[in-house]
Structures are given as structure tokens and as C-alpha cells.
Amino acid sequence: MSNTELLTEATAPVPETNKPRRYWLDQVILYALSFLLALVISGILIAFANPDVRDASQYFFSAPMDTLSAAWTAISEAYKALFSGSVINFSAYTVSDALKPFTETLYTSTSLIFAGLAVALPFRAGLFNIGAQGQLILGAIFAGYVGFTFSMPFPVHLIVAIGAGILGGAIWGGIAGALKSQTGAHEVIVTIMLNWIAIYFLQFLLTKDAFQREGRDDPLSPAVDTAARLPKILGDDYRLNLGFILALLAAGFVWWLLERSTVGFEFRAVGANPNAARTAGINVKRALFSVMAIAGGLAGLAGMNQILGGATEYALGNGIAGEIGFDAITVALLGKSNPIGVVLAGILMGGLRAGGSSMQAATSTPIDIVLVMQSLIVLFIAAPPLVRKIFRLRAPESK
Amino acid sequence: MKLELRGITKRFGTFTANDDIDLTVEPGEIHCLLGENGAGKSTLMNTLFGLYRPDEGQIVIDGTDVHFHDPGDAMDAGIGMVHQHFMLVPVFTVAENVMLGHELTKGGLLDIEAARNQVLELSKLYNLEVDPDALVEDLPVGVQQRVEIIKALVKDAQILILDEPTAVLTPQETDELLEIIRQLKASGRSIVMISHKLREIKAVADRITVIRRGKVVGTALPTDSETDLAAMMVGRAVSLKVDKEEADPKDVVLQIRGLTVRSETGQAMVDSVDLDVRGGEVVCIAGVQGNGQTELTQAILGLQHTVTGSVMLNGEELLGLSTRRVLDSGIGFVPEDRSDDGLVGSFSIAENMILDQYRNEPFAKGVMMKPSVIAAHAEEKAEEFDVRTTGVQLPASSLSGGNQQKVVLARELSKPVVSLFLASQPTRGVDVGAIEFVHKRVIAERDAGVAVLIVSTELDEVAALADRVAVMYSGKIIGIVPPDTPRGVLGLMMAGVPQDAAAHDAAAGADEEGAK
């Protein structure tokens, strides 16, 4: 195993002064290996789920190579489809078609990045925001309502709708923050309950005239005015729109907020040691409230992106939020609550989503495999000692 | 049991914490390890206890080489350790804690009765007074420490390592502990005690090994003078007395009237306290831990809830203001518990240096913080206050206790306008060299006209710093006395005896001694 030896070399202790670099190197290796392990285990599942492999395995003992080659074909086909559905399609005729899958990945990742930030930010202040789902729904309701009710010229309408989305999410997050800071109610319980309230609130609204599409009885709103839709940035052939740029800006904002602003300093201090923060004159209650309101605003942007970005044909329905608010927790964990990490994790998850659909279409591999893969990656990243054990890496010694 | 450490070397990265250390502990000996914070004493003992593995060197017990892979091995070999931070389960009783890890069973069930008897037996044998059925969380620190000692004795430790055992104790508890240590020695056990408190070391040690920057710099005897010991430890001559002029008190800066702080249950933790502190004087509040000093300082800072009375700073009422406003009105505050209230461990040293200044110029402009200014400030202050670190961007938790305290002091003493410097236990866990420095800084502040209020349970510190001593007992200030008041009188007052009676009793006690 010369490969493993190389890796061991790479993680061997280096002088103290280089500690940050060594840390990042260690992290990159850990992530890469976690991804590799997840691919291997998912590959085994893909093989088991494949009908050809199952057929061949019935005469495994007379011709074992048949089973193995069927398994190899199944796994390689599935992963090829996953890759060509999320990164580059090599069988496309034009360059633009070949790159289309990656734009789909970015498109799919947009809401995940917004919502991932909504979970990551409160993490840094010591709060576990399970409520991105509810905050996202409120953001979608506000943005959607402004989008399909009023009529304004192009940039104005879009800006007002985006603002409304932020406001809707911020109100929902702010309620959780106020309950936490004023009464000490646990944010996990409060946000879970607020998720349910948001879900049923949306169902209720969709039965009201103001939210119902004319001539329809099912719970579906009118489509958002074209002036309030997020413009596509690579032409009409691609779904990728301004939302992704906004998500990058939001990540940049969160980074700045945490690392460079006095407000973020307060958030981090409250998260790391509330006693010391209080003694240093930081208003802990206000910090808890603000961080939840800002997080709600970020989740509201995810909701805004869902409806103004065309994920649901620009209309509000019960499925507007999908599972994004919950996948956001995975994204935040995967990104280690770091804004740049959240962007990368969001793109990874978006890629698995986008690629998973084409994998299902091309190879009849169930898309659920993608969920398994996601879960495995998170599981391995959450348990570095396990990965180190499997690859026999040395743990970095700390004082 | 004879213990020898031969050429122990332990490195962390490029940092050598222990460099070729030799140490011999004879049976029935009290061996003290003396050294500054970060000198490598704890690393050495953790290596001996199997928590670290030495990079070089041998541990030899009674002539045979031993290798410890974990503390379990060390315990099996007869080594016990009482850590600075106790390793007890707070919600378990004393007996349950003692049996933890080697549970006695009877018919498959825990045999609590046997554990209780062990505790009772040991506490009788060594005067370790402790109730085996009490919950550990209800016990005072001194008693919790006894539980730790019993834990080690139950495993039949022949060598007992005590890591800074008196750092958390009151003067009375310290005396009791030293007595216990003597009894353990009498039973033939060896004690290795880590400390930097010269008075205690001189009181109990048979032999002293001094460690400086990872190396043994020499051995000493308890008969050597404190000045010599301190010089050996720090590497230069240290003055143990604070050189200071007579105080020149000016106007009253802090005026406390009828201050009462109630706990959640309505009990008066601070009971109608009146106190004035003038600019240019040091007032020390002496008292046994837990007599309302903590609540008093927190009330001034606006950190307590049910507070009545009045606290005026330069004629302005502080009560009712937010902590931020109080701090900004010109108070430097060193909290009692630095790791809990004074620092954010995961923050960098630089960030901790501005923990309550982060919104002020020049560290921030509006909401924008200025990392380069913050870093430069930290570099400068780390230098000035001699914070021993390899970089100000490292987390504060990477510093030793004394250096952490220096960070807090550096922050609070570097504020632009300080009219009151309020410090609880400013030198707790800080070594002699650093204490000298801190005391000098405090006196310098005083001489610059700042009002200084120090809360301390260390009578040495009180005597060294105070211009006036206010003794606090059970939430009340029971007397204000001059700093040259005899220790005996102060001790009695701290136990609640009023000043006159205390002076009388102390005098009577001295007469009796004299009569013998």
C-alpha cells in the first residue's frame, strides 16, 4: 500500500509554525477519503440493487466472473451517469451542452447554500437552527405574494420581492430568537414547532383567494410576474440564474459578518463562552435574537430562490420547500459551519442531486442511493477517527 | 517505593516541554516540584502518570524499568494523581466516585456498603473528614480534593502526585491539606507536590527540585530562603515584597452604600455593604471564599439581578446600567474565574486582548473590526506583560493558567480611561515572577490616581498590596483594618469574629504561646 504510506507521510507532524497549513491539509485529506469511502460503499449498494447483477449472482458459483463483471458494469455506468449529470457531459456534441450539467449543479445548489448558511451562522453563536425549513417557507410566501400580486417594472419588482423574502424569513427566525433570549425556551424545540406552523400556515393560505390561482381548485398560487423572476445569467438554455450569484454574495456577507464585524465577534463570543461574553459587556440576549433573525433572513432567501428562481414553475405550492431546510443541516455540518465550506458543501450536494436524477434516468439506479451517499459522506466526516483507522492514518498529536 | 525518572524528554512539535529531566523520589519523602507556569512541571507529571509518552528517557520503579500506556498502568504500579481540575462525577456520591472504575460487586450488584466502609476507614486513618453519602456537587472544593486523595489511596497509591493542590483552597483548607500530606508521609508514602507557592513548599517539603523552561535547574532544601527559591525558579532576583510609597488618597471614586444582593431564593449574599474607595489607594477585600465577594464584584459590574442600594462611580450611579455601560464608564475588571468569565478559550489571544474593547477605536470603526490593529496591539501587550506564547493568533486555551491571567490583566490594564481597577484574585494560579509584575502594575495604577479594589483570599497578597483591608464575612463587611494587622487577627475576622474581639483573642493566644 504505497498510496497509504504517502498519505501517512503527508499527515506526519510538521513544525508548529506551520500548524494552520497542516490542519487544512489534514482536513482536505479527510474529506477526500470520506468521499472515496462513501463512493465505495454506495457502489456496493448500486451493484446489489442492479437487476443484471442479481440475475448473474444466481449462478455465482458456476461463473463468478459474470457477477463481478455485471457489478462492475452497473457501478461504473451509474457513476458515469452521476458524473455526466453533474459535472461534464462528455458525450455531448457542443461545448455548451457538455458544460450544462455543471450549471445544473450550481442551479440546484443555490437554495442549499442559502439555507446552509442559515444553519451555519447560528451554529457559531451556539444555537442549533432546525427551523430553516419554516423560515424558508415564510420567505417563499412573502416573496411569492409580492411577486404575483403587485405589478412593478423589472428591477424594482425583483428587489422588493427579494426584500420581502428576507423579511418573511427574518420574522420567523426572529420569533424563535425572541423566545430563546427572553424565556430561555430551547431553540431546537421552538424551531421544530415553528416549522410545523409554517407548513400548515402555507396550506391554509393556499385555500384563500389571495393565494389561489384563478380557475384552479388545487392548492396552487398564480405564477410570479416576469419582472420579479431571477434573470438567467447564461441565456435561456440554462436554468442557472442570478440566485447563485446572490448565494455567493450571501456567503461572503456571512464570512464578513463573522470574521470582520463587531456583530459577528459578539455572536462568536456568545457561542464559545456566554459567561465571558456577558462579563465583557456583550448583550447576550440581543445577540441570540439577532443571530436568529439574520439566519431567518438567509433561509428566507432560500425560499425566495425557490419561487423566484423557477424551481416550482414560479408558483407557490405545498411542495415549495422540498427537503431543503433539512438538507441545509447536512450542508452546514459538511461545511463545518464555515461560509466557504457551506458553499462547497452546497455545490457538492447540488451536484449529487443533479447527477442523481440523470443517474436514475440513464441506469435505473434509484435516486435514493444519492441520499445514502450524502449520509455516508457526512457520517465519515463526522467521525475522523473512523476514517483514520480505515486508512491507518496517524492522528495529529496535539498538546 | 523508590521512583526514578531518568532523562525524560517530551516534545510537542518543535517545543520541548521537558528536556532531559532526572528526578528521584525516595520512599516516604515529600518532594516538591517548583517552577513557573509553563515550566513543564505538569507535563512531567502527566508523563509519569501515563497520560503522555516520553520521547526519550526511562521511568524506573524500585530498580525496574516501567512503561505506562495509560493512567490505568500507572495506578496499577502504585502511582496516584490528584489533578488541578478534579476528575469527579458531580452527581455521584463520594462513595460512588471512589469506587468508579474498579466497582466492587456483591452478587452482581454494586456493593456500595463496601465502598462506604473504605471511605470511612481511610478518612479515619488520615483525618480526611468526608461524608461518604454526600453528593460531590454539594461539597466545597477542599472536601472534593479529599475525595480525590481517597480515590488514589483506595487504589493503594504509594506515590501520590498533587498538581497545584492549594491553588483552589482557602488558607484554612490549605493548612488542613498540608497536615494530611504530613500524615500520608508518616504512613510511608511518597508525595510529589507541584506548586509555586513558596510558603507551602517550605512548610512541608523534604526536598525541592526546581524546573525552569523544561529543565531541572537545581535542587533546594526547605531551609533555603524564599528569596533564593524564587530567584532559582524565575532565573533572576525577585523581590517578594512590593516596593511602594505611602498611599496618597484623593477624592472618593467608588462609593458603595447599603448594597444588598439577593440570591434567587431571597437570601442576602451581600448584606448592606458600605465602602468607599478613593483614587490613589488600594482597598483589599479579604475573606474566605464564598462570603459574598463574588456577588459584590458582579453587582458593581451589573451582572447580578436583585440588587438594591447604591454604587456611585465618580458621582454617577452604576446600578441599573448595562454591563457595557459600566465597563465603558472607566472600570477595569478582572473576574475571579478567568477561564469561565475572563476569556473565550477558543478565541485567539489577540481577540481575548480586546474582548471588552472590540467595539472601540482603534480596534473597530463602526461595525468593521480591524484585525491588523488588533494583532499589533496583542503583540505589543504580550511583550509588555510577558505572555509566553509562540503566537498571538493561537487560541487562548493553549496558554498555561498564569499566562491566561496575564492576558486578562493586560486587557484590563490597557484600557484608555480606568478610574477604578476591580480585580478578583488577580494572582490566583500565577507564579512568583508574574505576581511581582502584577503587583507592580497594580501599585503603578494606584500611584497614577486610579482607585483599586482587590478581592483576595490570599493573606500574603492582601498584606502586600492593601492600603486598607476590608474583611468580609457572610455578606457583610465586618471591619476595615490597616494592612499591618497581624495575620492571626485577620484570620479570626475572616471567621466572623468582630475586630475588637479578634484582636483580643489573638493577643491572648500569643500570650499563651509565650507562657509555654
Report chain A residues whose CB lies below 8 A from the CB of B365. none
User: Cβ of B12 and A281 within 8 Å?
Assistant: no
Testing the interface with A: which of B365, B367, B368, B408 to mutate, by most A Cβ within 10 A? Answer: B367
Question: Phi and psi of B493, rounded to 5°?
Answer: -65, -40
Is the CB of B336 inside 8 Å of chain A's CB atoms? no
Partners of residue B82 on adjacent β-strands? B162
What local confidence, expressed as pLDDT, does residue A17 receive? 38
Confidence of residue A396 (pLDDT cuts 50, 70, 90): low
Distance from CA of A298 to the nearest CA of B (A): 20
Report chain A residues whose CB lies below 8 A from the CB of B301. 279
> Which carries the bigger pLDDT value, residue A396 or residue A99?
A99
What local confidence, expressed as pLDDT, does residue B511 receive? 61
Report chain A residues whose CB lies below 8 A from the CB of B12. 16, 397, 399
The nearest alpha carbon in chain A to B348 belongs to: A269
Element (H, E) at A220: strand A220-223
User: Cβ of A281 and B322 within 8 Å?
Assistant: yes
Q: Is the pLDDT of residue A15 over 50?
A: no
Distance from CA of B324 to the nearest CA of A (A): 4
**Residue found by looking up cell 490597557 in the block:** B414
Count helices and strands in chain B by DSSP H and E runs: 17, 24
Pairing of strands B451-456, B268-278: unpaired
Testing the interface with B: which of A262, A279, A397 to mutate, by most B Cβ within 10 A? Answer: A279
Grid cell digits, residue B322: 448595562
Closest among A78, A342, A303 to A171, alpha carbons compared:
A303
Report chain A residues whose CB lies below 8 A from the CB of B346. 272-273
Residue B493: strand, helix, or coil: helix
Q: Is the pLDDT of residue B254 over 70?
A: yes
Contact B454, B442 (CB under 8 A): yes
Lowest mean pLDDT among A80-84, A315-319, B171-175: B171-175
User: Cβ of B13 and A279 within 8 Å?
Assistant: no
**Residue found by looking up cell 438567467 in the block:** A232
Report chain B residues whose CB lies below 8 A from the CB of A16. 12-15, 390
The nearest alpha carbon in chain A to B17 belongs to: A399
Is the CB of B89 inside 8 Å of chain A's CB atoms? no
> Which carries the bigger pLDDT value, residue B153 or residue A393?
B153
What local confidence, expressed as pLDDT, does residue A51 receive? 85
What local confidence, expressed as pLDDT, does residue B451 receive? 95
Grid cell digits, residue B476: 457583610
Q: Across the interface, which of B13, B323, B364 has its CB nearest the CB of A278? A: B323
Please, what's the b/e burial string for A254-292 (b: 16 or more CB within 10 A of its CB; e: otherwise)? bbebbebbbbbbbbbbbbbbbbbbbbbbbbbbebbbbbb
Q: Is the pLDDT of residue A398 over 70?
A: no
> Which carries the bigger pLDDT value, residue A168 or residue A16?
A168
Burial (0-12, 13-18, 19+ Cβ within 10 Å), A61: exposed
Report chain B residues whose CB lies below 8 A from the CB of A268. 344, 347
| Average pLDDT score over residue span A100-119 | 95
Confidence of residue A399 (pLDDT cuts 50, 70, 90): very low
Q: Across the interface, which of B340, B347, B367 has its CB nearest the CB of A261? A: B367
Confidence of residue A159 (pLDDT cuts 50, 70, 90): very high
Helix H segments across A309-367? 324-334, 339-363
> Which carries the bigger pLDDT value, residue A21 or residue A9?
A21
Grid cell digits, residue B371: 484585525
Closest among B436, B409, B437, B414 to B424, alpha carbons compared:
B409
> Which carries the bigger pLDDT value, residue A396 or residue B193?
B193
Alpha carbon of residue A98 to chain centroid:
24
What local confidence, expressed as pLDDT, does residue A20 receive? 63
Q: Is the pLDDT of residue B393 over 80?
A: yes
Testing the interface with A: which of B344, B363, B370, B399 to mutate, by most A Cβ within 10 A? Answer: B344
Report chain B residues whose CB lies below 8 A from the CB of A15. 13-14
Grid cell digits, residue B265: 431564593
Lowest mean pLDDT among A351-360, B12-21, B329-338, B474-483: B12-21
Query: Is the bond preceding A222 in cis, omega lying within 30 degrees of 0?
Result: no
Confidence of residue A49 (pLDDT cuts 50, 70, 90): confident
CA torsion angle A101 A105 A106 A108 (round to 10): 130
The nearest alpha carbon in chain B to A261 belongs to: B368
Rounded distance, CA A4 to CA B203, Å?
Answer: 57
Contact A108, A350 (CB under 8 A): yes
Closest among A302, A293, A381, A382 to A346, alpha carbons compared:
A302
Q: Is the pLDDT of residue A111 over 70?
A: yes
Grid cell digits, residue B184: 500520608
What local confidence, expressed as pLDDT, does residue B374 receive? 95
Contact A127, A274 (CB under 8 A): no
| Average pLDDT score over residue span B62-72 | 88
Confidence of residue B496 (pLDDT cuts 50, 70, 90): confident
- Reading phi first (left if > 0) and then psi (alpha if -120 to 50, else beta), residue B320 is in left
What local confidence, expressed as pLDDT, does residue B201 receive? 87
Strand ranges in B225-292 using DSSP code E only, listed in sequence order? 252-262, 268-278, 282-286
Pairing of strands B190-195, B159-163: parallel
Restricting to B residues 380-439, those with a Cβ less than 8 Å away from any Cβ of A are 390, 398
Report chain A residues whose CB lies below 8 A from the CB of B369. 260-262, 265
What local confidence, expressed as pLDDT, does residue B72 receive? 86
Contact B450, B418 (CB under 8 A): yes
Altogether, the residues listed in chain A come to a count of 399
Which residues lie below 8 Å from residue B333, measured CB to CB, with a gap of 6+?
A: A279, B297, B301, B327, B356, B412, B422, B423
Report chain A residues whose CB lies below 8 A from the CB of B364. 262
Grid cell digits, residue A5: 504510506
User: Cβ of B324 and A283 within 8 Å?
Assistant: yes
- Return the percentage of chain B with pLDDT > 90, whole number: 35
Distance from CA of A290 to the nearest CA of B (A): 14
- Side-chain-side CA neighbours of B32 within 13 Å: the count stands at 28
CB count in 10 Å sphere of residue B212? 17
Helix H segments across B187-292? 198-204, 226-234
Q: Is the pLDDT of residue A12 over 60?
A: no
- Return the percentage of chain B with pLDDT > 70, whole number: 98
Q: Is the pLDDT of residue B238 over 80?
A: no
Taking each helix axis from N to C end, the angle separating A154-183 and A187-205, rounded to the nearest 10 degrees, works out to 140
Q: What is the pLDDT of residues A262-281, one digit of tens each?
A: 999 999 999 999 999 999 99
Is the CB of B321 inside 8 Å of chain A's CB atoms? no
User: Cβ of A262 and B359 within 8 Å?
Assistant: yes
Contact B282, B247 (CB under 8 A): yes
Confidence of residue B438 (pLDDT cuts 50, 70, 90): confident
Closest among B499, B463, B511 to B484, alpha carbons compared:
B463
Report chain B residues whose CB lies below 8 A from the CB of A266. 358
User: Cβ of B13 and A16 within 8 Å?
Assistant: yes
What local confidence, expressed as pLDDT, does residue A5 receive? 34
Q: What is the pLDDT of residues B286-314, one digit of tens each?
A: 988 778 999 999 999 999 988 999 999 99
Confidence of residue B509 (pLDDT cuts 50, 70, 90): low
User: Cβ of A260 and B342 within 8 Å?
Assistant: no
Rounded distance, CA B454 to CA A251, Å?
Answer: 46
Question: Phi and psi of A234, rounded to 5°?
Answer: -120, 25
Q: Across the interface, which of B324, B347, B371 has its CB nearest the CB of A272? A: B347
Residue B267: strand, helix, or coil: coil
- Side-chain-side CA neighbours of B185 within 13 Å: the count stands at 18
Closest among A144, A167, A146 to A317, alpha carbons compared:
A144
What is the interface pTM, i.e. ipTM, of the complex? 0.82
User: Cβ of B368 and A280 within 8 Å?
Assistant: no
What local confidence, expressed as pLDDT, does residue B510 receive? 60
What local confidence, expressed as pLDDT, does residue A8 receive? 32
Distance from CA of B424 to the nearest CA of A (A): 13
Confidence of residue A61 (pLDDT cuts 50, 70, 90): confident
| Average pLDDT score over residue span A294-312 | 95
The nearest alpha carbon in chain B to A265 belongs to: B358
Confidence of residue B196 (pLDDT cuts 50, 70, 90): confident
What local confidence, expressed as pLDDT, does residue A264 receive? 95
- Average predicted confidence (pLDDT) for chain A: 89
Is the CB of B55 inside 8 Å of chain A's CB atoms? no
Q: Is the pLDDT of residue B172 over 80?
A: no
- Average predicted confidence (pLDDT) for chain B: 87
What local confidence, expressed as pLDDT, does residue A327 receive? 92
Alpha carbon of residue A91 to chain centroid:
29
Contact B301, B333 (CB under 8 A): yes
Element (H, E) at A142: helix A132-149
Q: Is the pLDDT of residue B450 over 50?
A: yes
pTM for the whole thing?
0.81
What local confidence, expressed as pLDDT, does residue B512 receive? 57
